[in-house]
Amino acid sequence: MTNSNLSIALKSHQEYILLAKLAKISLNQTLINPSLAINKYGHKEFLEKLQKLRQGHPLDYLVGEVEFAGKVFKINQHSLIPREETEYLVTSIQEFFKGSQKTICSSQIISKHSTRLHLNKPDLVVDIGCGCGVIGLSLSKYFKEVLMLDISKEVLDLAVDNSKHLAVDNSSFSFKTETIKTYTQVVDNYWLIANLPYVPDSEKEKTVEFNVDYEPKSAIFAGQDGLDVYRFYLHELSKMKQLPQLAVFELHKDNIHKAQKLWNENINKDYMTEILVDQNKLPRFLICLPK
């Protein structure tokens, strides 16, 4: 499809989506009258972004925002593009809090202990590896406080920005691991949810194939088995007096069973653990709940 006002003809559905999102005009309207959308956004600016899209830059980075569990989050090159698996988890937790009969991602152990989890409403949720903030900020209304932690200063700035534009006023941000201890020792109970880097380094050569070439490698890869960062936080948790009332880790199908074994070996207090599948039926979430 071509348009006389465009010096470059739009070639694909994705290019129309880019234009619609940048111009903040519906896709239908953009398909009918692309020049209107181009004029609204700016001809030169759009051509620059179109060129980048054609070079392989992800659409979401070019638009600068994503929709996640019904809210819009700003993203940039420092943050991971949030994944559907994470949205599946977060939506399922939201359903749980809304009192739905469904348990979190069909968990047997949460189902069995859901009364306890509902009665002892947690004061705090700790989101480790928060990125642009999709997990903690989406769940903030179910907790008195949210602690968002990330190793990247740039990403934390983005999460702070998102908390402001989403009007979340009960969130704190830190890049220091010790903050977890400071926050958790003054509350009765807390949840820990972590989507840390979990991909084995051996998959680094497949970044183009998996379409993650433009994303920060520090958000994705974590050593030979993909569990280096997970191992670090297990060690931190093993030293803490106050352990979470529920811990949820998003992990890789190839290392999640090893991660479960590591939890059982490293965390002294008796926990039940279960591996849950994502929307594609792949083992993805490790759930840990005290007995």
Question: With binding defined as CB under 6 A, does residue 107 bind ligand SAM?
Answer: no
C-beta closer to ligand SAM: residue 80 or 288? 80
- SS3 string, the chain, reads CCCCCCCCCCCCHHHHHHHHHHHCCCHHHHHHCHHHHHHHHCHHHHHHHHHHHHHCCCHHHHHCEEEECCEEEECCCCCCCCCHHHHHHHHHHHHHHCCCCCCHHHCHHHHHCHHHHHHCCCCEEEEECCCCCHHHHHHHHHCCEEEEECCCHHHHHHHHHHHHHCCCCCEEEECCCHHHHHHHCCCCCEEEEECCCCECHHHHHHCCCCCCCCCCHHHCECCCCCCHHHHHHHHHHHCCCCCCCEEEEECCCCCHHHHHHHHHHHCCCCEEEEEEECCCCCEEEEEEEEC
Give me the least distance between CB of 36 and ligand SAM, in Å please. 34
Among 18, 50, 66, 155, binds ligand SAM (CB under 6 A): 155
Among 104, 105, 168, 196, binds ligand SAM (CB under 6 A): 196
Give me the least distance between CB of 9 and ligand SAM, in Å please. 35
C-beta closer to ligand SAM: residue 89 or 289? 89
Site string for ligand SAM, 222-261 (x = CB under 6 A): -------x--x-----------------------------
Question: With binding defined as CB under 6 A, does residue 197 bind ligand SAM?
Answer: yes
Among 22, 109, 126, 219, binds ligand SAM (CB under 6 A): 219
C-beta closer to ligand SAM: residue 33 or 207? 207
Question: With binding defined as CB under 6 A, does residue 130 bind ligand SAM?
Answer: yes
Which part of the chain contacts ligand SAM (CB under 6 A), choosing from 23-31, 48-56, 79-87, 106-114?
A: 79-87
Residues contributing to the site for ligand SAM (CB under 6 A): 80, 82, 86, 128-131, 134-135, 149-152, 155, 195-197, 218-219, 229, 232
